[in-house]
Structure 1
Amino acid sequence: MTTERDGLTRQEFLGGVLAAASLGGGAAAQGTQPVAALHRRPIPASGETLPVIGLGTWRGFDVGETPAARAPLREVVTTLLGQGGQVIDSSPMYGRAEGVTGDLVAGLGARDRTFLATKVWTSGREAGLAQMRRSLQLLRAERLDLMQIHNLLDWRTHLPTLRAWKEEGRLRYLGISHYTESAYDAVEAVLRAERLDFLQINYALDDRAAEERLLPLAAERGVAVLVNRPFGGGGLLRRLGAKPLPDYAADLGCASWAEILLKFVVSHPAVTCAIPGTADPGHMAANLRAGTGPMPDEALRRRMAATLPA
């Protein structure tokens, strides 16, 4: 019922171990061995691969400058990078998250090991330029890995700007993002009409509408997919936490419902990376474990969807 796929080469794995050793502090410095190698997926536009588990910064990274507020987040980032992760997604709408992310990555000397993604969410060309320049400043980056037009707000205005920035080398990839099913028709129309590198969309075991058209279309159009809200909505994870793990959990190497939910998401062939948000280093480590080892095959995925506990 399970299959191994998208594993790292020996050279890539050793590179991750060396990166962990160089971070200082956190799991690597404390003698904890890195988890098994994270599966990786290619970005269709370039062939570059990304680990299937990343980090979202909504809510959790909107904190002040005190050591007490920042210390757990530093450990989260250290754990992500030390165990082979790369992707950190933020946004100007997340309060202080961009600045906190930039400070932590710079403090760890980890910019070259980090895939930084953020968003533009405003109307008008000049406002968009100002917001993106501010994101560069806050993230302490000369260029960004990914800029996304959030919620398709004024996308016709911003897309030429993003293309110009990509041509100038100020960003590497461009895309769009959304998080509600009510916008899927509009998202689909843009995916069909425009050449994009990335789509960020909501997808979870209890929120599978993206499977119908958007994920197949992204695969068809050669668009990488970041998944937000991979734990679903309506308190799914809290509700499942009191229930026993299903019999297939051991086969998948899962010790928690969080790992099961993430394995379902990243086992979809169109998904490049899931970006669950957390401010807890232990949760970050568990999320990363979900990106290793056996993954559900199609038969098990169907069973998981059909037998989700109420």
Structure 2
Amino acid sequence: MDALSPSSFSCEVTSHVQSPPSAYGRVASRGGRRRRARAGTIIQHAAGNHQGATEGCHMTARTNCSVSRRDLLEAGVVAGIATLLPRGLPAAEPAESSRPLITRTIPASGERIPAIGIGTDSFSDSVRDDIHAELKRMSELGGTVIDTAASYGDSEALIGQALESLGTRDKMFIATKLVGGTSSGSSTPTGAASFQRSLERLKTSRVELLQVHNLNGVAALIPLMQEWKKAGKIRYIGVTTSRVSQHAEIMDVMRNYPFDFIQVDYSIANRDAAEAILPLALERKLAVLANLPFGRASLFRQASERQLPGWAADIDVTTWAQYFLKYVISHPAVTCAIPGSTKLSHLVDNQAAGRGRLPDAALRRKMEEYWDRKS
């Protein structure tokens, strides 16, 4: 349990007394069930903060939060109360942007990154303009972390083109993935060829984080990744999974290989990682990207007939997306959550979860209990 003791969480301008260590003890696992993402959405990924390396406020004092729906904003009207609607209403952007940005520290270096990034999936050229608009807005809102992969269709190429056009490459924290071994008939190259293609498609000479995708070829890739790191082509090395069935394997890898990051599936409905993986990440001083914070969109389907609790306003939450994301990034082991989006309004909503107040241990338990209720 000591491994889960939280640090002093603080905003850029204020701090909060740390919560009792026991408050972050084991919680009942809720599953690992994931469904296919609905059409038009990107498979979600995400992550949060580390002990002694976080920013953000844990508060419970009630506050008034102005909220609005996208259509109302387009009509020039800002109105409504989030808790009266099934999914809540997107918060008014001026109020969001004035709240402190929540950042997390990467244990390997002390570098801080925003606690909310963006995850991607297999893109085609048809979403080029959408990706450009989202990456532009994300940068304006203070977000920097972009997670992609060599196997995600045209994702790397579209990201590279957008960042080159926007002139924001140097502001961004790019994380991509590769696999080892042979391609086995796949059109995606592996190993060194895969990494070289990633650099070319991303239009960059280096990436911030290179990850072994779904534990595929760890032993073969580690020596190569260490060489590339020494040469300045990557800053951090990591390994990923998005499957509960691989949790035991990734823990073995965490204990035996010199990674800086792990990426794992974690959400309010899938807490398996909190049982052992996240405590081990704290113990090993590994940064954590949390993927699938929306359970491949299944959480929104489950929430469609439910109302946000009134006390969600205590942590500046006005939508279900923010509820789900603030739960994830308030875990002491999570460095950054990487939810997916192909809609600008969803991107803005997700980024809002990376500002303002976070739940403390007691409120996290309350969030779990409220979600676990079936009505």
Shorter chain as normaliser: what TM range?
A: 0.7 to 0.9
How large is the Cα RMSD of the aligned pairs? 2.0
The one-letter code matched in structure 2 to 1:177 is: T
After superposition, the Cα gap between the structure-2 partners of 1:113 and 1:234, relative to the gap in structure 1 and judged at 3 Å, is closer
- More divergent stretch after superposition (238-247 vs 274-283): 238-247
Residue 164 (str. 1) matches residue 227 (str. 2): yes
Structure 2 unaligned blocks of 5 or more: 1-7, 15-92, 184-188
Query: Match for residue 291 of structure 1?
Result: 354
Question: In the aligned structure 1, how far is the partner of 2:110 from the partner of 2:333?
Answer: 14
Question: In the aligned structure 1, how far is the partner of 2:293 from the partner of 2:283?
Answer: 22
Larger radius of gyration: 2
Structure with a larger share of its residues in helix: 1
Query: Match for residue 20 of structure 1?
Result: none
- Structure 1 segment 29-48 matched on structure 2, within 5 A: 33=94, 35=97, 36-48=99-111
- Structure 1 segment 105-116 matched on structure 2, within 5 A: 105-116=163-174
Question: In the aligned structure 1, how far is the partner of 2:179 from the partner of 2:266?
Answer: 21
CA deviation after TM superposition for structure 1 residue 239, in Å: 2.0
Aligned residue-pair number: 282
The secondary structure found in structure 2 opposite 1:248 is: helix
Deviations 1:64-105 (A, max 9, x none): 1x6xx3222212111111111100000012111010011001
The secondary structure found in structure 1 opposite 2:151 is: coil
The secondary structure found in structure 2 opposite 1:145 is: strand
Query: Match for residue 63 of structure 1?
Result: 124
- More divergent stretch after superposition (236-245 vs 191-200): 236-245
Question: In the aligned structure 1, how far is the partner of 2:262 from the partner of 2:270?
Answer: 17
The one-letter code matched in structure 2 to 1:186 is: E
- Matching residue within 51, 75, 78 for 2:136: 78
Contact 2:118 2:146 in 1 (8 A): yes
The secondary structure found in structure 1 opposite 2:215 is: coil
Query: Match for residue 248 of structure 2?
Result: 185
After superposition, the Cα gap between the structure-2 partners of 1:141 and 1:240, relative to the gap in structure 1 and judged at 3 Å, is same
Query: Match for residue 13 of structure 1?
Result: none
Contact 2:180 2:221 in 1 (8 A): no
TM-score by length of 1: 0.86
CA deviation after TM superposition for structure 1 residue 122, in Å: 3.8
- Matching residue within 87, 95, 99 for 2:157: 99
Residue 119 (str. 1) matches residue 177 (str. 2): yes
- Structure 1 segment 181-260 matched on structure 2, within 5 A: 181-233=244-296, 235-260=298-323
Deviations 1:145-172 (A, max 9, x none): 0000011111100011001100111100
Contact 2:180 2:220 in 1 (8 A): no
The secondary structure found in structure 2 opposite 1:75 is: helix
Question: In the aligned structure 2, how far is the partner of 1:275 from the partner of 1:129?
Answer: 26
The secondary structure found in structure 1 opposite 2:264 is: strand
Deviations 1:180-229 (A, max 9, x none): 01111110001011221000000000000000110010111110000110
The secondary structure found in structure 1 opposite 2:212 is: strand
Contact 2:180 2:218 in 1 (8 A): no
TM-score by length of 2: 0.72
Report sequence identity in percent: 38
The secondary structure found in structure 2 opposite 1:175 is: strand
Query: Match for residue 263 of structure 1?
Result: 326
Query: Match for residue 26 of structure 2?
Result: none
Query: Match for residue 46 of structure 2?
Result: none
Query: Match for residue 147 of structure 2?
Result: 89
Query: Match for residue 7 of structure 1?
Result: 11
The one-letter code matched in structure 2 to 1:199 is: I
Contact 1:57 1:97 in 2 (8 A): yes
The secondary structure found in structure 1 opposite 2:268 is: coil
Question: In the aligned structure 2, how far is the partner of 1:53 from the partner of 1:234?
Answer: 17
Which fold has the larger relative contact order, with Cα–Cα distance below 8 Å and residues 6 or more apart in sequence?
A: 2
CA deviation after TM superposition for structure 1 residue 9, in Å: 6.0
Contact 1:5 1:39 in 2 (8 A): no
Question: In the aligned structure 2, how far is the partner of 1:164 from the partner of 1:223?
Answer: 20
